Structure 1
Amino acid sequence: MRRLINRHPSRRMKILLGALPFILAVAIYAIAADARGADGPDKLMPGLNAITSAMSRLMFDIDRATGARLFWADTWASLARLGVGLGISAVIGLGLGVPVGFIPCLRALFEPFFAALSLIPPLAVLPILFILFGLGELSKTVLIVFGIAPFILRDVMLRVAEIPREQIVKAQTLGASSWQMILGLVLPQVFARLISSVRLSLGAAWLFVIAAEAITAEAGLGYRIFLVRRYLAMDVILPYVLWITLLAFAMDYALRQAHDAIPWTRFKEGG
């Protein structure tokens, strides 16, 4: 007897089924916007034509004040902040998480501190960061790092603790020093977990970028959203939110592909 649980869609069918909810959402929005705009333009739910016109202007027209195409300038500004923050956080997570998680004395010394640090709400210290580092790019980068580096750090430490003790004993039997074990035994097994930790931090990183840009910035996706909200410009806000979602999805997909490209992750899943 064929049961529903045993029916698996083909690759083409997966793509179609995955796209169907988005198509339905756009169709429902278009119908609702046309209904609301029957008596005139509706600022809260603009039609697809209004959204297309607004985005065409931002994407292709050069702004007189800045001399740039605002949509692409905002995208680059936000991605640059996000990339720098994620990169620094990954380096901190790997550079501190591996030795602290591997060496018992370091773990006893720093683990409680890192645990407490990860529990501090990053947005609560945002005013402090602006006071200490000013209103420029440095404070935005520090906010991202402060928000996600402790999570990545603790996740890497946990992965180091999961390494079987037998492997460590065998490495010591073969004469490996602590740093040789870190480089040859721990790092290869932790790198895939680092990529997964960065993936899980993407949502929080975008939140901190947008929060920082909403308070002080001259360009950025979050800056533009909060700039035009005073005019109820939903024809700009909605596409920007969708664009942020698309960028986050693309970054998540790229990180997932990088994770799956590591040979020993496939071996572990298959074996």
Structure 2
Amino acid sequence: MKRLMNLTPSKPLSIFLSLLPFVLVFFLYGSLSNARLAENPNDKLLPSFSQIGSAIDRLAFNEDKRTGKYILWADTQASVLRIAVGVTISAALGLTIGLFTGLIPLARANLSPIITIISLIPPMAILPILFISFGLGELAKVMLIIVGTAPVIIRDIQMRVLQLPSEQLIKALTLGASTWLVALRVVLPQILPSLLSSMRFSLGAAWLFLIAAEAIAAQEGLGYRIFLVRRYMSMDVIFPYVIWITTLAFLMDFSLKRLSQVCFPWYHSNENGK
């Protein structure tokens, strides 16, 4: 008799089980929305699917009369650019400093304490400092993402370097390799997959910091639009925007995962449906 933990679903069953929660949420929302609207047609808390569709059509496929832009796509462009720049800079800092501190004990003793302290500072607590220091423009928003994600990536990369078998480093040094060559030819190829994984795990926090910054000081962006319409209880706009943000985050995560699988298949060889 097979134990429950040893039962593996077939491909069709796996797809069905994956879609089932979304279908249930869809029907549950439809039922609750219909019930509330039947009681009060002017209710704004749970708009109908047709109302949501009308809002999407207005924001995504009709030019705004005031700005001449398609609002959803303008907001998407602004937010995606900010988060792409922020996460990319964080990844570059994480790779450089994490490799440096992980490989060189003197650097680790000097920099690890301050990096640990910075990583424990709630980024939202220093948001006013960032706005005062860098103004209300794009730099402050990007800096919030960097401050919130770079220290975590640095610590993760440093840990990955320290986990490498010491025999590899000793053999390379015995064969005459310099510290720079060991870092470039031995350590770097092995931690690049970990860097992509760290970037994936930092996306959720990066979106959180971005939405918070846009809500406080921005003229366009997905977070800015959500907090702009909340005063009017425009749930027909807020729901699609939340779903769209989630979709963008998923696509970014999926893209990084596929990039890692294509570039570093050896790293994923032992994965089982992860």
Scaled by the length of structure 2, what TM-score is found? 0.95
- The answer for the alignment partner of 1:233 in structure 2 is 234
Cα distance in 1 between the residues matched to 2:65 and 2:139: 28
- The answer for the alignment partner of 1:117 in structure 2 is 118
- The number of residue pairs the alignment matches comes to 270
1:1-271 correspondence to structure 2 within 5 Å = 1-38=1-38, 39-261=40-262, 262-267=264-269
CA separation of 1:2/1:102 partners in 2, compared to 1, >3 Å: closer, same or farther?
closer
Q: Can you list the C-alpha shifts for 1:67-91, whole angstroms capped at 9, x where unaligned?
A: 1100111111111101000000000
Amino acid at match of 1:73: A
Report which stretch shifted further, 51-60 or 250-259: 250-259
Cα distance in 2 between the residues matched to 1:188 and 1:97: 14
Q: By how many angstroms is 1:264 displaced? A: 2.6
Q: Can you list the C-alpha shifts for 1:188-217, whole angstroms capped at 9, x where unaligned?
A: 111011111111101100001100000011
Q: By how many angstroms is 1:41 displaced? A: 2.6
Amino acid at match of 1:118: S
What is the RMSD of the two structures over their aligned residues, measured on CA atoms? 1.4
Amino acid at match of 1:29: Y
Cα distance in 1 between the residues matched to 2:87 and 2:102: 21
Amino acid at match of 1:129: L
Amino acid at match of 1:99: F
Percent identical: 54
Q: By how many angstroms is 1:105 displaced? A: 0.6
Where do 5+ consecutive residues of structure 1 fail to align? none
Q: Secondary structure at the match of 2:22?
A: helix
Cα distance in 1 between the residues matched to 2:255 and 2:191: 19
Amino acid at match of 1:7: L
Q: Can you list the C-alpha shifts for 1:116-139, whole angstroms capped at 9, x where unaligned?
A: 111111111111111111000010
Q: Can you list the C-alpha shifts for 1:239-271, whole angstroms capped at 9, x where unaligned?
A: 11111111111111111222222033035669x
Where do 5+ consecutive residues of structure 2 fail to align? none
Report which stretch shifted further, 37-46 or 86-95: 37-46
Cα distance in 1 between the residues matched to 2:2 and 2:155: 45
Amino acid at match of 2:186: L
Q: Secondary structure at the match of 2:203?
A: helix
Cα distance in 1 between the residues matched to 2:176 and 2:189: 19
Q: By how many angstroms is 1:3 displaced? A: 4.4
CA separation of 1:190/1:67 partners in 2, compared to 1, >3 Å: closer, same or farther?
same
Cα distance in 1 between the residues matched to 2:23 and 2:270: 37
Cα distance in 2 between the residues matched to 1:48 and 1:223: 23
Cα distance in 1 between the residues matched to 2:270 and 2:181: 23
Scaled by the length of structure 1, what TM-score is found? 0.96
Q: By how many angstroms is 1:11 displaced? A: 2.1
